[in-house]
Amino acid sequence: MHIVVCVKQVPDTKIIKINPKTNTLDRRSAPAILNPYDAHAVQEAVSIREKTGGTISVLSMGPPQATAVIKKSIEIGADRGYLITDRAFAGADTLATSYALSKALERINKELPVDMVICGKHAIDGDTGQVGPGIARRMDIPPITNVIEVSEVNLDEKTVLIKRKLSNGYELIQAGLPCLLTVEKEVNQIEYSPMPNMIKAARYEPVIWAVSDLENVDRAQLGLKGSPTIVGKMFTPPRPEGGKKIEGTPDEKVKQLLDILLEQKEVLTLQSSKQ
């Protein structure tokens, strides 16, 4: 079983500020960390490996200092790591990012066939959730998003049983391997790293690839050139207003409440589905 986890280095959004003049993230205002959802992705890979055996690789795209998130992934329990870094990747949106990562995955797959790719649900700096499904589409494997539980991995039948979260409930899916999962934080709890993992992570040097190390790459699909997304503006959203307080007699309160509900007709919309 070979699992590849895609990880990203992101600014800590609990601390980061928005530049009021440029309306962009001031990445210097916060330390860089392993994307929290990706940490859960690595932890889930470790949990699966404990049941099936095998190898966990981590893959990241970013500047040279992104080796820090690969080392953190090794500390959690990954076996090896790859970083693709090149000026040609700069300015990539989710489309260009998924293309670059899929090309790196193609090379990794030649070295050791990949059975499963796991990504975090989204990165906390972009919050799009598009890179995972984009990779799956380019690799022509099924994507299963919003995963909250990996119930079973059957290597004999090459299947995986997944529980995923929907807006109005849950869904159980059986998918064939290889496949790609994007996981929610609730899929697991991050465990404390044992000392041997910490020592290994401190000494570990990931494999580093440039564009020239990847095969059959269309440079027009990389970086800013391959990114059709344009961010017009970023801003801090206004604080939500407080709720409306209903006062009066019980009959008056009922009437006021009904008037509010009728104004907000979508509240009364009922969704039903056949079981």
Backbone angles phi, psi at 62, to 5 degrees: 170, -170
pLDDT of residue 100: 97
pLDDT level of residue 269 (50, 70, 90 thresholds): low
Angle at 165 between CA 123 and CA 229, to 5 degrees: 35
Does 87 have pLDDT greater than 60? Answer: yes
More confident of the two residues 127 and 28? 127
pLDDT level of residue 88 (50, 70, 90 thresholds): very high
Q: Residues 119-127: what's their mean pLDDT?
A: 91
Angle at 136 between CA 123 and CA 220, to 5 degrees: 80
pLDDT level of residue 27 (50, 70, 90 thresholds): low
Q: Residues 228-256: what's their mean pLDDT?
A: 83
Contact 117, 59 (CB under 8 A): no
Does 234 have pLDDT greater than 80? Answer: no
pLDDT level of residue 272 (50, 70, 90 thresholds): very low
Q: Residues 125-153: what's their mean pLDDT?
A: 95
Sign of the torsion formed by the C-alpha atoms of 162, 166, 171 and 175 = negative
Instruction: Give the integer Cα–Cα distance in Å for 93 and 10.
Output: 14
Q: Residues 232-250: what's their mean pLDDT?
A: 80
The DSSP annotation for the chain comes to -EEEEE--EEE-TTT-EE-TTT-SEEGGGS-EEE-HHHHHHHHHHHHHHHHH--EEEEEEES-GGGHHHHHHHHHHT-SEEEEE--GGGTT--HHHHHHHHHHHHHHHHHHS--SEEEEES--TTT----HHHHHHHHHT--EEEEEEEEEEEETTTTEEEEEEEETTEEEEEEEESSEEEEE-GGG--PPPPPHHHHHHHHH---EEE-GGGSSS--GGGSTTTT---------PPPPPPPPPPP-S-HHHHHHHHHHHHHHSGGGG-------
Comparing 44-48, 89-93, 97-101, 243-247, the range with the smallest average pLDDT is 243-247
Does 243 have pLDDT greater than 90? Answer: no
User: How far, CA to CA in Å, does 258 sit from each of 211, 244, 245, 262?
Assistant: 62, 13, 14, 6
Does 258 have pLDDT greater than 90? Answer: no
Backbone angles phi, psi at 215, to 5 degrees: -100, 145
Does 23 have pLDDT greater than 80? Answer: no
pLDDT of residue 50: 96
Q: 157-216, pLDDT tens digit by residue?
A: 999 999 999 988 999 999 999 999 999 999 999 999 999 999 999 999 999 999 999 999
pLDDT > 70 in the chain, percent: 91
Does 231 have pLDDT greater than 80? Answer: no
Q: Residues 74-91: what's their mean pLDDT?
A: 96
pLDDT of residue 242: 78
The DSSP annotation for 204-272 comes to ---EEE-GGGSSS--GGGSTTTT---------PPPPPPPPPPP-S-HHHHHHHHHHHHHHSGGGG----
Nearest residue to 150 (alpha-carbon basis) of 164, 136, 131, 132 = 164
pLDDT of residue 229: 87
